[in-house]
Amino acid sequence: MDHDVIIIGGGLVGMTLALALASGGVTSAVVDSADLDATLTTAFDGRASAIASASAAMFRTIGLGAMLDAHGCPIHRIRVSDGTTGKPLVFDALESDGPGSAGGGALGWMVENRHLRAGLLTAGRTTAAISLFAPASAAAIVRDAAGATVTLADGTVLTAPLVVAADGRRSKLREAAGIAVARWSYPQTAIVTMIEHERAHGNTAYELFYPTGPFAILPMLASDGGANRSAIVWTVENDAAPGTLKLGPRALAAEIGKRIGGLLGAVTVIAPPASYALGFHHAATYAAERLVLIGDAAHGIHPIAGQGLNMGLRDVAALAEVLVDSARLGLDLGAPAVTARYSAWRRLDNSMVGAVTDGLNRLFAIPGRAPAAVRRVGLAAVERIPLLKRRFMAEARGETGDRPKLLLGEAL
């Protein structure tokens, strides 16, 4: 076998896995059908991601600390409210710092996806244990008792005991393996853009709930000229999406202003809006013969709590630990016992996060005064019960469940 693992898909999750494996001495071939240099522009992906503090601890452990320090804006506070009315529920990082917390004063970091991609790609290209094939596509993949063979369209043949599907929500590998998927679409579209604003955000992420869907304002590092800057993820009903996308910068700023009230003062839109259809999907298993699924190939959720990528990064940390441990014991990395250990470790946790985000979206989508009153009582209750509040904050930081070493900031 010429590699320990073949990873199909070198996106945010696949490339992080290659680096995590390399940190534990496991080699990989990464195959991506895209020209990865072309994925580094805001035109390709203008989104920013909330990287939970546990995911950030893994990035630092595998050598991406400089990228986070240069481009990450710490989130010190999350303020949740039913629209702009009522008493908000405030999660403050300083309230939850304590032994075992990887926060260092932050619940997480906001990073533009183009910076995440650039940091990962540079590290992937300069790591000896990683062979990168991109743009390249797999013409044939054979998985059997003897091992896995991937033949690329140019005739290159790659062999390994295990193939990892990191090829996103429409995963061809998942489909070819016949793995069933539970899925549904939300009648909602996410509109993503970037704003500059008069008042400082104070490292606060705002999550405002409206019956049409949640509206998130996420703190970013200041613009080059020093202006205050935040990312917007605005969930609208599908019918409203085309009209919203057609709005010019001034009209869009006025609509955003209506929803966020005077929270940040005058607002200017600085990036053309992009839209994402929202859906939920979850694979029935993450393991098949000499194959495992990670990231969006395994699951996709509503972006209401900014957890989708973090779930994929938790898959990475668990899979890397299982494979590095197994390699040290001289085990076959594609053996059913190895792949089943990973699937069992991650599937339940991801099911729970998926169910909670789905439930939250539905709860806040119920229109009318009575449900709004119930929500306000609920928010106030969480605010008053320290144990419950700490639990939600640990969830936001990614510090719950049976955590793999990398998420604790420990090397493999």
Ligand X SMILES: Cc1cc2nc3c(=O)[nH]c(=O)nc-3n(C[C@H](O)[C@H](O)[C@H](O)COP(=O)(O)OP(=O)(O)OC[C@H]3O[C@@H](n4cnc5c(N)ncnc54)[C@H](O)[C@@H]3O)c2cc1C
b/e map 174-191, b = 16+ CB within 10 Å: beebebebeeeebebbbb
36, amino acid identity: L
Residue number with CB closer to ligand X (27 or 235): 235
Residue number with CB closer to ligand X (47 or 60): 47
Q: What does the alpha-carbon distance between residue 160 and residue 165 come to, in Å, rounded to a whole number?
A: 14
Binding ligand X (rule: CB under 6 A), the pick from 29, 68, 190, 406 is: 190
Residue number with CB closer to ligand X (50 or 252): 50
Residue number with CB closer to ligand X (190 or 253): 190
> Footprint of ligand X on residues 239-268 (CB under 6 A)?
none
Smallest separation (angstroms) from ligand X to the CB of 45 = 8
Cα 96 → chain centroid: 22
Smallest separation (angstroms) from ligand X to the CB of 163 = 11
Closest to 134 measured CA to CA, from 307, 302, 298, 14: 14
Binding ligand X (rule: CB under 6 A), the pick from 23, 27, 28, 49 is: 49
Smallest separation (angstroms) from ligand X to the CB of 300 = 7
Binding ligand X (rule: CB under 6 A), the pick from 46, 214, 219, 295 is: 295
Q: Is 72 in the site for ligand X (CB under 6 A)?
A: no
Smallest separation (angstroms) from ligand X to the CB of 99 = 26
Smallest separation (angstroms) from ligand X to the CB of 73 = 12
Smallest separation (angstroms) from ligand X to the CB of 233 = 5
Is residue 189 within 8 Å of residue 235, measured between CB atoms?
yes
Q: Is 395 in the site for ligand X (CB under 6 A)?
A: no
Q: Is 46 helix (H, G, I), strand (E, B) or coil?
A: coil
Q: What does the alpha-carbon distance between residue 319 and residue 18 come to, in Å, rounded to a whole number?
A: 11
Residue number with CB closer to ligand X (252 or 372): 252
Place of tokens 């599907």: 165
| 151, β-bridge pairs | 140, 157
Q: What does the alpha-carbon distance between residue 80 and residue 363 come to, in Å, rounded to a whole number?
A: 14
**Total Cβ atoms within 10 A of residue 99:** 4
Residue number with CB closer to ligand X (23 or 350): 350
| 276, β-bridge pairs | 190
Q: Is 312 in the site for ligand X (CB under 6 A)?
A: yes
Q: Is 168 in the site for ligand X (CB under 6 A)?
A: yes
Q: Is 20 in the site for ligand X (CB under 6 A)?
A: no
First to last CA, the chain: 23
Q: Is 150 in the site for ligand X (CB under 6 A)?
A: no
* Segment lying near ligand X (by CB under 6 A), choices 259-267, 304-312, 321-329, 400-408: 304-312
Cα 40 → chain centroid: 17
Binding ligand X (rule: CB under 6 A), the pick from 7, 10, 189, 397 is: 10
Q: What does the alpha-carbon distance between residue 148 and residue 25 come to, in Å, rounded to a whole number?
A: 20
Q: Is 151 in the site for ligand X (CB under 6 A)?
A: no
Binding ligand X (rule: CB under 6 A), the pick from 31, 316, 317, 394 is: 31
**Total Cβ atoms within 10 A of residue 276:** 15
User: Both tokens of residue 203?
Assistant: 């490292």
Q: Is 124 in the site for ligand X (CB under 6 A)?
A: no
Q: Is 219 in the site for ligand X (CB under 6 A)?
A: no
Helix (H) or strand (E) holding 340: helix 336-365
**Positions in the binding site for ligand X (CB under 6 A):** 8-14, 31-34, 47, 49-50, 137-138, 166-168, 172, 190, 192, 233, 276, 295-296, 303, 306-310, 312
